[in-house]
Structure 1
Amino acid sequence: MSFFRPFNALVVLLTLWSTIAYAHAPVSRPLKRLANPSTLSLEIIPRAPIPLESSAHRRRLPSPHANTLRYDDSFRLIISAFDETFFLHLRPNDDLIHPNARINYYATGPDGRSYIRHSEPLFRESVRAYHGEVVAADHSYTRMREDAAHIVPDRTHPAHLGWARLMVHDQGNADAGLAPEFEGAFSVNGDVYHIITQHNYLRTKHELDTENVEVVDVGLDSNLVIYRESDMMTPEEEELARTGVRPEGKVAVGHGCGHDRLHYNTDPSQNPLLAKASPAMSRWYDNPLGLFGNGSLFPRDDIPSNGMTENFRDFIGQTTGCPTSPKIALMGVAADCEYVTSLGSQENATRQMLTSFNTASTLYKNTFNVSLGILHLAVQQPGCPSTPDSNVPWNVACGNVTLEQRLSLFSQWRGSQGNDSTALWHLMSGCPTGTEVGIAWLGTLCNQQASPNQQGETVSGTAVSTSGRTEWQVVAHETGHNFGAIHDCTSDGCVTSPACCPLSASACDANSQFLMSPVAQTGENAFSQCSIGNVCTSMRGIQGAQTDTSCLIDANTNIQLVGLQMCGNGIVEQGEDCDPAVRRCCVGRRPPTTTTFVATTPPGMSGVPTQHHRRLSSYDRHAPGYISSPNVPGRGNGVMYSPVPQQQMQWGPPPQHPTRTNWVDESLYNGPRH
């Protein structure tokens, strides 16, 4: 039985929305195929650890909330698409939301000034953000038992086919025929699958998608759209589809990042990261054999070198300098009026930003041992002001400023915020400039000042990304520049002077395979070995230059935030008896009993039980009242558990396991079978 509308409804909407959607869509590759995924099941892992050799045979009674997916749950999601079935094992991303995180929703007053219309805490309990792995079908059952025992997964296991990062917006209702709604991405054997809502697909669709869509799965979850990186057209295929003429040779692709046009990012006299001396990378005529081994080693004269000499060739793959223990870079994220307009509402914009940063944060955690944690969200209202507000000069319509100018305006504003405990501020904009969809300052992690230069630029710890189909990749790329990463080398030039990261010590062109490619291509979902060496070496510091990491916080330590003291912010601070996000309570003189804020569940929050212990995030491992779990010998993992058994929500026929026809293994409830 099918509960969902057929795919044809999406095809009709594609035709109706083609002109509108494309008008707001930044540069992206057209899709040759896309599909509706089929959600087969969502299985919540028991919240109380079940040892692998459990002797319990008695079925536990389910909790009243056992079938409600919580922010701190681990679960298995089984989905089908493109004639394949995927087993996603997911656990909560406890680093994404800081306990003191807050959202400010802005509006424009009659005088044209931007003001805070509404401010509220961003509760961790309200954000269902997860990350994990895609596991092979024949290993998924074993992995389920390991998950139930709360064993930390081995990401190098050969049965792990790739990574997974999802935000669950709505878990659905099988009885009512409502499918879950979630967004994110996962990888399988190197190919990345993107899942977005139908609304977001229509918002970012390419003008050539409509004529090149192949209906793959019919009658399934039509509220979601899935496509693969391998489904994107190459530049040559796009040229053929657009003109009807097959191009001869490769088609030139414009740069998607404006990093290399900024003086601060290319002038070693301004940016000390660029002044480090490094053994020069040879031109092709200094290495005749290289002419045959790598045809991309040719001089590039179209980009001024400015004396830049560093290409990090000698540090490829080196991780010395990156944190050896988990760290978190606290982020402030703002959305301008054009971004919010493209999403339709402030709430939709907030959801999209959280989805993008959830995916990017896990990438940074797995690569550099530094998660991106959100502390501040500043969301402007849809519809841009007719006259820019001098207090938020970056909140202007697309035609008024370029992406480069918007970055400087945003940097000026960031400097006015002072020490607000953030490592970086990131602006989400709806205004790309030509093919450029993002821009950032190089190596400005922990820079809270606004510094103008002689070229009219204002530099700070900031970046700008624009709305698009794979927004999280733009966010990750631009944040990489803030962390000190330069661009990967491309085929249009590989010499020492314009610094770029080579593929290896003997090969230059990275062929746009990695995240720091200046050209938007498919497959850019990981940092190259050179980028890893680039970032880690810059953090370590060489020859007097170093990326500032003083603002990174220990993932297992609380901090006393500064810059947040205000009545009505929902945080009990010095001099306040209480602060329930209303001003009338901020009248006390007694200091708080603890300096650690632990978010509590707001009354009436849908789908969040108020009587259960919550999973402690990595921010509050040392919070008052913290205990390690006594249920798993030798594992003080900082989790408070309530004894809730696994529950499954089934939307379609269960996949056939090689040895089992009933996929729901009751041993997770009753102990092992004999």
Structure 2
Amino acid sequence: MATTAFRFCLLWVFFAALVAATSTTRNPLRAISTIQNATIHTHSHRVTALHNFDLSFVLRPHLHVKLSLEPNDDLLPNTGLLVSYLDSDGSVSRTEDLDRLAHKVFRGSAWYRQEDVDDEWIRAGWARITVIKDGLQPLFQGAFALNHDNHHIQLAPHFAHTRHDLDPHVDTADENSMVVYRDSDILLDQHVDYHMHELRRGLEYEDGLTCQSDNLGFNSQLDHPVYTAMLRRSDSVLGSETLGNLFGKRQVDSSTSGNSAGVDLTSTIGQTKGCPSTRQVALVGVATDCTYTAQFNSTESVRINVIDQMNTASSIYEQTFNISLGLANLTISDSNCPGTPNSASAWNQACSDSVDIQDRLNLFSAWRGNQQDSNSHWTLLSTCNTGSAVGLAWLGQACVQTAYSTNSSTTGNGQSSSDGSETVTGANVVVRTQGASEWQIIAHETGHTFGAVHDCTDQTCAQSSTVSSQQCCPLSSTTCNAGAQYIMNPSTTSGVKNFSPCSIGNIC
């Protein structure tokens, strides 16, 4: 697929706001399926990273699914993706260029046919698939949508690490089994028994459904003039262009608002004028800490999962903003956590009560400030949640490549001349945990990094100061509560598929 690739860079020269995207765990599932009769429709039932092909399987009795797939060339460059491996002490042990042909990563469309009902295949949505093994008994993971209902595919051992304690039982030890669940299989809050609710969250998590960003000082800074820039990505030349050229961004005013652009969000609801008309690629660096790596049986499995999650998360940005997420750097920590964290990579440490998710974001942000790249941002993947919070991001900091601390001056390389409680840059943290969809949290946190505030909820709508200062995105100019139905809802909910019209206008 021929697309023009760009180094997507938004250089925000301002005292930006922080949002703590405290995505929380989902409710239990009412049902789980497994993939049956999977078939790769090529002559030999084998594929390379460059193949276009169909993949079919039986999802439930009488329901046949077909995925028409093509390589996702935006996600992985042909050359130049650097993979760094950290030793158990946190130092870099080796680096290598990723072999693009070794990773079979695809995107495409999803079709279905009901046995004895439909004579023809019916196109019903999108698909993102990573093929792990081809042949007569293929293995793959990813996600697809049928009639706006997201379906999540995981290898059974991977599902074991993200399943809810109250999900239906499935044999998670079978390495050749692929588990599928739908967003519509997630129980709604009103259908969850009180005792199940207590088991799911614990009493201390009852307030975890809303974002904790209001408790962070950096988020209370209201004045932040926005300036933007973008570096062009191509195979041979790096040029630059402003965000105004790319997004057609509105003129920035100096009003005191809490959103990323300092404008009245209701005035741009649903507007896509500023979004790119041709495909562009936002380059992303991803790092895994020791706790994340330890959940996999090899660094190869870590690599495959990271690529798969980014491939799926990219789909919502391609569909909504014509922007793909492209991996530029991957840093994989050793599975053995260091006894004493290396000062150069202090974010790579075991989970502990003394280091919460905000501390981890601060440590990672300082490290990101020392990386010499032109990436849009970096994402840290961990398994260390704080309560029910499984994600945290700095708002509107895409392509801020240096780190600075609040309430202090900085040297521009991640160090400050005086103590500051928050270290800010283009970075976010995503936690892999039970009862949460990893790729959806990545999509949510990336939205914050690109400047999207949370959607308004009934709680924030009741806070007149939050609404008047535009620190949440309303459903419309006349309705505040967005109804917890979009990707930028403060907590994870079932059936989240798209950005709200307000978030689209907020980013575009």
Q: Normalised by the size of structure 1, how large is the TM-score? A: 0.59
Secondary structure of the equivalent of 2:145?
strand
Decide whether aligned partners of structure 1 residues 258 and 104 sit closer, same or farther in structure 2, where only a CA change above 3 A counts. farther
Is 1:230 matched up with 2:184?
yes
Is 1:390 matched up with 2:340?
no
CA contact (8 A) 1:461 1:482 kept: yes
Distance in structure 1 (CA, Å) of the matches to 2:260 and 2:371: 34
Matched ranges for 1:135-146 at <5 A: 135-137=111-113
Decide whether aligned partners of structure 1 residues 505 and 499 sit closer, same or farther in structure 2, where only a CA change above 3 A counts. same
Partner of 2:451: 484
Distance in structure 1 (CA, Å) of the matches to 2:396 and 2:256: 21
1:415 to 334, 352, 369: 369
Residue 456 of structure 1 aligns with an amino acid whose one-letter code is S
Once the two structures are TM-superposed, the CA of residue 137 in structure 1 deviates from its matched residue by 3.7
Partner of 1:188: 146
Partner of 1:254: 208
Once the two structures are TM-superposed, the CA of residue 167 in structure 1 deviates from its matched residue by 0.8
Decide whether aligned partners of structure 1 residues 515 and 70 sit closer, same or farther in structure 2, where only a CA change above 3 A counts. same
CA contact (8 A) 2:369 2:402 kept: yes
Is 1:427 matched up with 2:405?
no
Is 1:74 matched up with 2:52?
yes
Distance in structure 2 (CA, Å) of the matches to 1:125 and 1:308: 40
1:328 to 275, 281, 286: 281
CA contact (8 A) 1:330 1:424 kept: yes
Deviation string 1:72-108 (CA, Å, 9 cap, x unpaired) is 1111111212331112111111101122002111113
Secondary structure of the equivalent of 1:167?
strand
Partner of 2:489: 517
Distance in structure 1 (CA, Å) of the matches to 2:256 and 2:222: 16
Deviation string 1:6-54 (CA, Å, 9 cap, x unpaired) is xxxxxxxxxxxxxxxxxxxx8332111102111342213xxxxxxxxxx
Distance in structure 1 (CA, Å) of the matches to 2:138 and 2:430: 28
Rg larger for: 1
Task: State the Cα RMSD in Å.
Answer: 3.2
CA contact (8 A) 1:425 1:461 kept: yes
Deviation string 1:515-571 (CA, Å, 9 cap, x unpaired) is 1100111112211111111000xxxxxxxxxxxxxxxxxxxxxxxxxxxxxxxxxxx
Secondary structure of the equivalent of 2:455?
coil
Secondary structure of the equivalent of 1:391?
helix
Secondary structure of the equivalent of 1:410?
helix
Deviation string 1:623-653 (CA, Å, 9 cap, x unpaired) is xxxxxxxxxxxxxxxxxxxxxxxxxxxxxxx
Higher strand share: 2
| 4+ residue segments displaced more than 6 Å | 140-143, 277-280, 305-309
Structure 1 stretch displaced more, 235-244 or 510-519: 235-244
Is 1:406 matched up with 2:360?
yes
Residue 493 of structure 2 aligns with an amino acid whose one-letter code is Q
Residue 36 of structure 1 aligns with an amino acid whose one-letter code is T
CA contact (8 A) 2:81 2:329 kept: yes
Distance in structure 1 (CA, Å) of the matches to 2:67 and 2:424: 41
Distance in structure 2 (CA, Å) of the matches to 1:306 and 1:526: 20
CA contact (8 A) 1:411 1:458 kept: yes
CA contact (8 A) 1:340 1:381 kept: yes
Decide whether aligned partners of structure 1 residues 271 and 486 sit closer, same or farther in structure 2, where only a CA change above 3 A counts. farther
Deviation string 1:227-249 (CA, Å, 9 cap, x unpaired) is 1111112223333452799xxxx
1:91 to 62, 70, 88: 70
Residue 105 of structure 1 aligns with an amino acid whose one-letter code is Y
Give aligned-pair identity as a percent: 36
Secondary structure of the equivalent of 1:343?
coil
CA contact (8 A) 2:48 2:101 kept: yes
Is 1:104 matched up with 2:67?
no
CA contact (8 A) 1:71 1:129 kept: yes
Distance in structure 2 (CA, Å) of the matches to 1:90 and 1:257: 37
Residue 459 of structure 1 aligns with an amino acid whose one-letter code is V
Once the two structures are TM-superposed, the CA of residue 221 in structure 1 deviates from its matched residue by 9.8
2:472 to 486, 500, 521: 500
Partner of 2:18: none
CA contact (8 A) 1:96 1:373 kept: yes
Matched ranges for 1:121-520 at <5 A: 121-137=97-113, 159-171=122-134, 173-174=135-136, 179-209=137-167, 212-213=168-169, 223-240=177-194, 242=196, 254-255=208-209, 258-269=212-223, 272=226, 276=253, 310=263, 312-399=265-352, 400-418=354-372, 420-454=373-407, 456-468=421-433, 469-494=436-461, 495-497=467-469, 499-520=471-492
Structure 1 stretch displaced more, 402-411 or 305-314: 305-314
Distance in structure 2 (CA, Å) of the matches to 1:266 and 1:525: 29
Decide whether aligned partners of structure 1 residues 385 and 311 sit closer, same or farther in structure 2, where only a CA change above 3 A counts. farther
Distance in structure 2 (CA, Å) of the matches to 1:322 and 1:307: 16
Decide whether aligned partners of structure 1 residues 410 and 141 sit closer, same or farther in structure 2, where only a CA change above 3 A counts. farther
Partner of 2:248: none
Distance in structure 2 (CA, Å) of the matches to 1:532 and 1:476: 14
Task: Point out where structure 2 has 5 or more consecutive residues left out of the alignment.
Answer: 1-23, 200-204, 228-251, 408-419, 462-466
Partner of 1:17: none
Once the two structures are TM-superposed, the CA of residue 319 in structure 1 deviates from its matched residue by 1.1
Decide whether aligned partners of structure 1 residues 203 and 169 sit closer, same or farther in structure 2, where only a CA change above 3 A counts. same
Q: How many residues align?
A: 432
CA contact (8 A) 1:170 1:180 kept: yes
Residue 353 of structure 1 aligns with an amino acid whose one-letter code is V
Distance in structure 1 (CA, Å) of the matches to 2:298 and 2:365: 25
Q: Normalised by the size of structure 2, how large is the TM-score? A: 0.78
Distance in structure 1 (CA, Å) of the matches to 2:504 and 2:34: 36
Secondary structure of the equivalent of 1:387?
coil
